A = this chain, B = another copy of it.
Amino acid sequence: MKINVVKRVLEANDAVAASNRTLMSDAGVLCVNITSAPGSGKTTLLVRAIPALAEAQLASAVIVGDLQTTRDAERIGATGAPVTQINTEGGCHLSATQVTHALHGLDLAETAIVFIENVGNMVCPAGFDLGEHKRVAVLSTPEGDDKVAKYPTLFQPADAILLNKIDLAGPLDFDRRTFYDDLKAINSRSPMMELSARTGEGVDAWVDWLVAAHTQHAQTAGA
């Protein structure tokens, strides 16, 4: 009984996610869903990327999920990009329906990339398709080199993996070998980028990946 209820919730979510994806594809918009634990640096990664993407003539809009507060939305809003905040009021992930409502408030014709900053949580967001075209998983070095093995459902489906806060890898004895070995075992197809959103090191590669993903998406959508 319990399993049936959960299954029905997931099936309903997937149907809504599919229609979100079609809506954005038809508008030539690339949607990127960013998942990580709390405090991995999702907001700072966006604050770094948005102005660089604007220089490449790619306008961003952001949907931010949080249990409480509008602090992330305020930080992103300072870049000038439109931001829609979803307060989940205790919910541990965003759902496709919440994203549908947020999309209605965005001008997709004026947008190249919609970022979804998911609720900070390494478990629950992994199971919910929101209608994204690309999913990004972020790990920061202070969280520990064992997290890929412990939370494989976050890293396995990711189209790109970002290792953030690499300026702290040395002081914290973060073992890259463990991290890379664990990642290779579950996801060897997706690019892995090391960076520090705080210092700016490696941010170029993250922006280049986004630009390339948008170019590829526009070609597919236009074909």
Binding site for B on A (CB under 8 A): 2, 5, 9, 37-39, 66-69, 71, 90-92, 119-124, 127, 140, 142-144, 146-147, 149-153, 165, 168, 171-172, 198
Residues in B with CB closer than 8 Å to A127 are 90
A68 x B150 contact (CB < 8 A): yes
Least distance between A16 CB and chain B CB atoms (Å)? 16
- Residues of chain B contacted by A152 (CB below 8 angstroms): 67-68
A9 (CB) vs chain B CBs: closest residue: B2
Are B37's CB and A123's CB within 8 A?
Answer: no
Residues of B within 8 A of A144 (CB): 38-39
Q: Could you say which residues of chain B place their CB within 8 Å of the CB of A120?
A: 37, 122, 150-151
Is the CB–CB distance between A123 and B124 below 8 Å?
Answer: yes
Measured in the bound complex, the distance between the Cα atoms of B160 and A56 in whole Å is 49
In the complex, what residue of chain B is closest to A127 when comparing beta carbons? Answer: B90
> 20 A-B Cβ contacts within 8 A?
A37-B37, A38-B150, A39-B143, A39-B147, A66-B150, A67-B152, A67-B153, A68-B150, A69-B150, A71-B146, A92-B123, A119-B123, A120-B151, A121-B121, A121-B122, A124-B124, A142-B143, A142-B165, A168-B168, A168-B172
Q: Which 8 A-B pairs have the closest CB atoms?
A: A39-B143, A142-B142, A92-B123, A39-B144, A37-B38, A69-B149, A37-B37, A69-B150
